[in-house]
Amino acid sequence: MTPSGLYVPLITPFAPDGSVALDALERLAQDVLGAGASGVVALGTTGEPSSLSPAERSAVLDVLAGVCGSTGGQLIVGANDRATLNAVPASATAALTLVPPFVRPGDEGVVAHLSALAGASPVPLVIYHVPYRTAQPLTPGTVRRLAALPSVAGMKLAVGGIDADTIALLADPPDGFAILGGDDIVISPLLALGAQGGILASAHLATASFARLTRSWEPALGHRLARLSAALFAEPNPTVLKAVLHEQGRIPTADVRLPLLPAAKESMRAALDEAGRI
């Protein structure tokens, strides 16, 4: 299956005692799938996976696999190495796998690394390309080499804007390879250029509107959603998003785990105001 449409990378809600609020997580998944999302992402960066224990990560994955199994929603699982890929259920649509960060192995190293992971993965890979975080840019030619791998289904493209390489890639996309926008603020122009959907944390809010945008690009709607995304990303993700969801009564606390700190109330209010304008 080639991924397309809207995928919501779910937060990990925390209870007042600091544990993972699995019941709230289940409701969030049901909410976004019921509002038109194609699927959810478990253990993506929005879910603060590095702060979760192995038992917590397993519980999150079990809950979201259960919701997707009962609703027909697609499940993408954040997994960046062989050990985490081995934990991805075979029922998942794909694993979201980061271009190797920090070490800057070059294009050849990236292709070799992701080829090895794709060959070992129980599900296809969606490669997460976010060079302003990994410090490893990729040329369109390298992306096409990755797209040619039989176990690579697509890419979450988050290069921080619309650059010449993005335009070149979307002007001639590889066959059967999903290009999903990953920079929420510029998802509208990415869709206009030909992206097949998005993996968008902002879509915890106004989910139906984001789903509509991925199905049928509408400039005015895209502009309104971009303002919402800008407000939600005014502080490190998912701090503002969690504050808004807590204010709406959808999660029991706005808590995040270190190294993140809670968002300022002013940021939460600004995002709520934008959500009210959608």
Catalytic residues: 128, 156
Cα–Cα distance for residue pair 38/47, rounded to 1 Å: 18
Nearest one of 51, 28, 106, 62 to 256, comparing CA atoms: 51
Cα–Cα distance for residue pair 207/8, rounded to 1 Å: 9
- Report the first-to-last Cα separation within the chain, whole angstroms: 31
41: its two tokens: 């992402």
Report the run of H or E that residue 246 belongs to, with start and end.
helix 239-247
Cα–Cα distance for residue pair 175/234, rounded to 1 Å: 36
77: its two tokens: 């699982």
Burial pattern 117-156, b for ≥16 Cβ within 10 A else e, equals: bbeebebbbbbbbbeeebebbbebebbebbbebebbbbbb
Cα–Cα distance for residue pair 96/127, rounded to 1 Å: 6
Burial (CB count <10 Å: 0-12, 13-18, 19+), residue 86: exposed
112: its two tokens: 């070799």
- The amino acid occupying position 39 is G
11 touches 242 (CB < 8 A): yes
